Each structure stands twice: as structure tokens, then as C-alpha cells.
Structure 1
Amino acid sequence: MTAADADEEVAADLAERVRDGELRLYELEDHTDADTAAMARRLLLERETDADLSTVGDYSFDASEASGTNIENMTGAVQVPVGVVGPVRLDGEAAADEHYLPLATTEGALLASVNRGCATIRESGGATARVLKSKMTRAPVFRVEDVAAASEVVSWVRANEDRIREAAESTTSHGELVELTPYVVGDNVFLRFGYDSKDAMGMNMATIATQEACELVDAETPASLVALSGNLCTDKKPAAINAVEGRGRTVSADVEISAETVESVLKTTPAAIAEVNTRKNHVGSAKAGSLGFNAQAANVVAAAFLATGQDPAQVVEGSNVITTADVRVDEAGNRSLYASVTLASLELGTVGGGTKLPTQAEGLDVVGVRGGGDPAGTNADALAEVVAVATLAGELSLLGALAASHLASAHEQLGR
């Protein structure tokens, strides 16, 4: 009997024990290795649903790298096509020169669109990008007796920020508490903690550190902790506070493009793009009550997140983007297009989470930012700057297509 046959026999036995109620799905790794446990779950599902899971089971990494840390009840892996955009030149504080960016998506026109924007930026000598703010937030909610007690808690918090900071930072060797803001709503007190999480996205670090700080607040004030997350953080939900105050990294990118380049690459004019941006991204978004004033920022952010191991649910915050486009005229009367994007709450990292999985780590290698930076935080800053420039490229291309009335034909040609 070959080793593969032996593994399949073990998997079949485990699948039968689950069907008989002797074991539960999540207990299989206690009886075998992670790959065989995944095989047992596939066999069970195939018998129960008549599905063929041979493709899901054809993955290239050791299941032990993901099982328990990135996924529970693992059955296999879903493959999303990955392409690359660039190179695009950028002038950032953490990222410089030319960079490629891998994007994982099933949307046929996306990479072609972003690459056209990258070509526009290249023709213009490159884009500028800067991380303006970095803080991962967690906001617990406390119960108090009344507004007077709430005021007492807020006063204590403001007078004891050093003690709170010491408690929070005692749980981490890298994270720093950089902001603490109280909010009162009747008999509710929210404390919005903001951490510099360096190269990690930082959600787990922020949660653990905040728990330690909350125990101090709970012990020293009339407040009683109700929930470690009170939704004022705000994680994975549309929220104006993230669009205004930021969460994760707040990053901007801009470029100035000559009228000749706009006409030769985007097939339109600076004035036409500026008008589309104003009427679509600003007026249309305002009328819709949108928190994002952009054309397709989430497209690029989601594809970059999938390719580099970020939490895809945080694309919600990643779509908090404002795109600007204005016509500029120099002293000689030459016209150009100034365009920018500001991503208020881009939550990403280069260590931890899904970044350690093999295909995602390869994606980070393409950008040149795998692992911790020196100094700490610079790799995640660099990734944020590259994603921002790619987002700018996507905005330029789509606005150009709309201004030139090319959107429908482009999607027809590219299979969407």
C-alpha cells in the first residue's frame, strides 16, 4: 500500500466516524495530520452532497500552515486567478522607484483597466504617495449608571492615559497606543483606542491590548465593560467615523498628467475627466449617501487584498476613498489633469494573518515587502503606497473610459 493509499484509508475511516456521530468535523486534526483531515472532510461532503471536490483538494501548500490559524474545518483551497499590473513608478516615503502589484480577481476587464492607468502614470513620470496616518482601532462599550457617572469615567480616562497606555502596551512588543478618544451616549461610554501596529494589520493585537486596558478601567471607575467591541471601531461595516478619522492606514496618491498624455493614452481630455469625476464621483455619490466618492476603488483594493493575504472583509473600509480630478493651466496656457485618491481606512499588513500563506507571501515578494520592515512599519507603509497608486491608476482608466464612452465596449472585448 502506498502512502497516498494509506492516507485515503485513514481519511475514509474518519469520514465514516463523523457520519456515525463518533467525531465532530473540528476534531479530525486530533487524530491525523491536517492534509488527511481535509481529505476526510472532502470525502464526507462528496458523499453527503454529490459534489466533486477534487479541484478544491488540489492545493500546493501544507494544510498545517493554515489549519487552525487561518481556517477551521479545512477542506481545501479556492483558487482565484492572479495577474499583475505595472510596473508603475512612484515617489513614496516607504516605496520608491518602480513596482509591480499582483491582483487576484475574476473580473475580466479589471487588470487591463488598471494597467492602462499605470501606463498613463508612467508616461507622466510617476505618481506621489504618502501614508498620512496609521492607527488600528478597537472601541469597547461600557455601561454606567447615568450621564454623571459617564462624565466621571471620561474625566478619569483623560487623567490616566499614561496608566491605560502602560496596561495596553504590556501585551505587545511592537504595538503602541497613539490615540484614545471617549464618546458618551446616555449611559454608554465608548473608548476608541488607536494603535500603531507597525507591519501587522493589527486587529488581534489591538483586541488583546484593549482587553488589558479595559480591565483597568473596569476596576478603577464606575464603568462596567459590556463588550470589547462596541462597533465604534468600526470593523468590517460601513461607518462614517472610518471615512473621517481613518482606520488602518490613511494614504494618498496623486499625479499630474499633460493634456497630450490624457488624449494619447486615455483618448479624452482633462476637462472631460474632471467633469465625469465631479458629476459621478462627487454629486452622484453625495445623492446616494455614499461614504466612498470614487469610481472603482474597491475593485483594486479587493484584488490586492486577495493576492497579498489581507482580510478580504476589510474591503468595506478600503472603499472609503475620495477621488479628485481638476484641470490645471500653467503660465504658458498648457493644460493638464491633476488627479488624486485618498484612502481613509486601508487596513493591511505584511506580517501575520494570511500573509504567511505561500501564494500570498509570493504576492508580497512581488511588491518586495514580505515580513517586517526596517524600521518596523515601513513594509506595510510601502504596500499601502503601492496599493494607493494602483487605485489611482484604476480611477484614471475608468474615468477616462466613461469620458470617452468606451466602458461598454471594453467590457465586451474583455469578457465581462
Structure 2
Amino acid sequence: MDDHRADLRSGKLKLYALEKVLPPDEAVGLRREFIAGETNTDLAALGEYTIPIDRVVARNCENMIGCVQIPVGVAGPVTVCGEYAEGSFWLPLATTEGALVASVNRGCSAISKAGGAEVRILRDGMTRAPVFAAGSVAHAHEVVAFAEDHLMEIAEIAQSTTSHGEFLGMVPYVVGTSVFLRFEFDTKDAMGMNMVTIASQKVADFIARETGARLVALSGNMCTDKKPAAINLVEGRGKTVTAGVFLPDDLIRDVFKCDTASLLDVNTRKNLVGSARAGAIGFNAHAANIIAALYIACGQDPAHVVEGSSCITTADPMDGGVYVAVTLPAVQVGTVGGGTGIATQAACLSLLGVAGGGDPPGANAKAFAEIVAAGVLAGELSLLGALAAQHLAKAHKELGRG
């Protein structure tokens, strides 16, 4: 170990190469020690972790120096009446925001008392959109025509790269001499970005070779990945999910301490009018809070909270109560691959009963997406109720103060 320390200091051994000469835990420890010395910082707390890291250093994190721990609370149980998720579920929420878990817990209680959240997946398709440079607008038109005329061949090429995914289709977009081809795939239980990227590369190479268009970038931002975008709100990306529940007037009074009219007014003026005036992509109270907490706990890519937060919350007055629903156009989740195999995250997926591959393939990821939507609905209901009852500041004062 002393030789390795000396080699690091001299530059003979690179930080990123430590796993090639040491077991993972020792490599991480030595790297942390080196960085602590270089920055004169106490990093000992980062070395306190229980997850096995052999897989982590190989597949999830380069130049690892330790782990940041996030508290995980549980909300629920919440009753979900979906096509893939059916029953009562405890929601693992990783967060440092005081009052969040308590708020979602109250929403879960209201949903369960009302008989459960109806949840449906409206469509399912992960996208990747390469951008090509054509020589002229006429050439750009020819590129699109070629891709449309050879769609079956494109599907075969895409399918040759994966034994799990399924090519669903393509939508072209042209801007001057730039050609964007938005490919869509069913990625089963994987979130699927690696799968669709590899497939899209082979397809894009074929199109460039056959048309003479120049492949500029494998992602042309029409996908759109990890950025706010109207195309995801309109067309969807990943799973488009909706969840709703009818709340009787007396349940609203008992659980949220407000009346139905006040809850409706808050949703209209805050979630709809306020969001529209602000030019928001999403029209909701705080969907990102619940999505982020569930994604982090369950090994999802937290950057996809960007798309997930483009949620629209609606409230329809009905005889004797109100029907509240959330529509999430871009829920990008998986139960295999990525961070789902890390021990703590796998435990949270197991808590939900969706860890690993589903039977049939894709069933677990769809069930997880339905649970996410039910959790978002719970969070929306609770915050709408707190605002309608003028209780928001009180709750944060009691539960969220540092």
C-alpha cells in the first residue's frame, strides 16, 4: 500500500487506475485518503458504508471515494389499483427535506381511505434522436424519405443489438439542413438509455452510409433526455402514467381540514393558472419532490426528475366530492440495470415488490411506474390540502426546521 501511495504522489499511478492494482475497498480507501490530504479535508464520514462496491466501481461510479448517505423514510401504505401494481405499498422516500415524508404519508392515508388510486399507463417508449447534417433542404427531405421507406430494415438493425428491447417506430423532424430522427423503443424492465443508444448508433450509421448525410451527434436533443422539453410533455418519453382518486367531501374535511371548494380553488389558481402565467412545463404542486425521493431510494437516475416533474394535476368537481388526478408524461424508470443492483437500492425495490425482471418482461418496471404515479398523487393531495387549510407554514415550522 505504501508503494501505491508513493506512486500516486509521484504521478506514476493515476487515481482512476487504483482498482487495477488493489481490491475495490482498498482502492476507494486509498483514493479517499489521497484526496483528503490534497484538500486538507476530513473525509472519514464518506468511508462509512455497507454496500458491496465491487459492482459499483465497475458499473456505477468512477474514481469512487466513498458514499453520501441520505435518510430514507417510509410513507403509506397506499392502495394502488393499477394494471400492474395492485395492493397496498409502503413507499421508500430518500430525502433530507423535513415534512416531505409526513406530507406524502397523509396523502397515502387519504387515497387508501377513498378506496385506492386508479392508475393506468397510457403509453411506453424510450427515445433517442440522432441529428444528421444534410447538404441541402432537398437532401434533408431525401434522408427522411429513405428512413421512412426502409423502416422495416431499420427495425431489424435495431433489434440485432438487443435481445430485450423492441423497436417501436420513428418520427422525423427537419430544421433547414438538420435532420432529427426520433427513434422509440420498448425497453421492458430496463430504463433503457444504454439499450436505445447502442441500437440508435447502429441504425444511424446505416442511414448515414446509405444517404450521404453526416451523423453529427447520436443525441440531437430531440429525445429529450434530462432537460425540460415540451416534446416530452406532448409525446411522452418512457412511461406516460396517470393516477386518480375520488375524494368525498367528508374525507377531505377529516384528513385535510379544509373543504372541497378550497382545495379546488388552490389547484386551479396555483397549479393551473399560476403555472401557466409562469410559463412552466409542468402544472403541479411539487411532483418533483416525490419523484426525486423515490428515484434516489430505488436506484433510478435522479436527473430524470427533470422530465418526471412535467406533471399536470387536475381536480374535477363531482357530486359529493372531487376527483383529483395526476398525469405524468415522462416517467423513466427501470427495475434492472443502472443503480438498481446496488444493495440498498435493490432493498427499496424489493420493499415495493418490483426488484429485478418481471414476468412477463416489462411488468416490474410498469408496476413501479404505477406506484410512482400513486405516490405523486399522494404528495399533490397533501400539499393542496395544506395550502387550502393554510397549514403549510405550520407544518414546515414543526417538521422542517433545521
Please tell me the TM-score bracket, short chain as reference: over 0.9
The answer for the alignment partner of 1:132 in structure 2 is 122
Query: Within 5 Å, which residues of 2 pair with 1:6-17?
Result: 10=1, 12-17=2-7
For the residue of structure 2 that corresponds to 1:130, the secondary structure is strand
Q: Is the 8 A contact 2:79 2:115 kept in 1?
A: yes
Aligned to 1:165, the other structure's residue is in SS state: helix
For residues 357 and 44 of structure 2, what CA distance do their matches in structure 1 show? 36
**Contact 2:188/2:365 (CA < 8 Å) preserved in 1?**
yes
CA distances 1:290-337 after superposition (whole Å, capped 9, x unpaired): 0010000000000000000000111101101000012111xxxxx211
Match of 1:67 among 57, 71, 85: 57
Partner of 1:117: 107
Query: In 2, distance between residues paired with 1:112 and 1:365?
Result: 22
2:68 is aligned with what amino acid? Answer: V
* Distance in 2 (alpha carbons) for counterparts of 1:29 and 1:226: 35
Deviation of residue 150 (structure 1)? 0.8
| Percent pairwise identity | 56
- For residue 321 of structure 1, the aligned residue among 296, 311, 315 is 311
Match of 2:138 among 143, 148, 152: 148
Once residues 287 and 5 of structure 2 are traced to their aligned partners in structure 1, the CA distance between those partners, rounded to angstroms, is: 43
Q: Any conservation in 1 of the 2:52–2:343 contact (CA below 8 Å)?
A: no
Matched, 1:367 2:352: yes
1:389 matched to 2:378? The reply is no
State the one-letter code of the partner of 2:159. E
Rounded Cα–Cα distance in structure 2 between residues aligned with 1:110 and 1:15: 44
Question: Which residue in 1 is equivalent to 2:225?
Answer: 235
For residue 292 of structure 2, the aligned residue among 292, 298, 302 is 302
The 8 Å contact of residues 131 and 251 in structure 1, kept in 2 or not, is answered as yes
TM-score, normalised relative to structure 1: 0.95
Task: Measure the CA separation in 1 of the matches of 2:365 and 2:5.
Answer: 42
In structure 2, the partner of 1:87 is 77
**2:15 is equivalent to residue 30 of structure 1:** no
Q: What is the aligned length?
A: 401
Paired residue secondary structure (2:168) = strand
Structure 2 residue corresponding to 1:247, chosen from 237, 244, 248: 237
Q: Which amino acid aligns with 1:396?
A: L
Structure 2's unaligned 5+ residue stretches are none
2:75 alignment partner, SS class: strand
Find 1:282's aligned residue among 256, 272, 282: 272
CA distance in 2, matches of 1:153, 1:129: 40
Pairwise CA distance, 1:58 = 1.2
Question: How far has the Cα of 1:23 moved from its partner?
Answer: 1.1
The one-letter code sitting in structure 1 at the alignment partner of 2:26 is: T
Counterpart position of 1:357: 342
- Runs of 4+ in structure 1 displaced over 2 angstroms? 12-16
Q: Where in structure 1 are there 5+ consecutive unaligned residues?
A: 1-9, 330-334
Q: Distance in 2 between matches of 1:292 and 1:319?
A: 6
| 1:1-54 deviation digits (Å, cap 9, x = unpaired) | xxxxxxxxx2x5423321211111101111111111100111111211222222
Correspondence 1:174-185 to 2 at 5 A? 174-185=164-175
Offset of residue 384 of structure 1: 0.5
Distance 2:388 2:52 in 1: 48
Once the 2 structures are TM-superposed, how far is the Cα of residue 179 of structure 1 from its aligned partner?
Answer: 2.0
Check the 8 A contact 2:82/2:119 in 1, yes or no.
yes
What TM-score comes out, normalization by structure 2 length?
0.98
Whether the aligned pair in 2 keeps the contact of 1:251 and 1:343 (CA below 8 Å) is: yes
Query: C-alpha distance in 2, partners of 1:14/1:397?
Result: 54
Match of 1:216 in 2: 206
Supply the AA of the counterpart residue of 1:242.
N
Q: CA deviation at 1:101?
A: 1.4
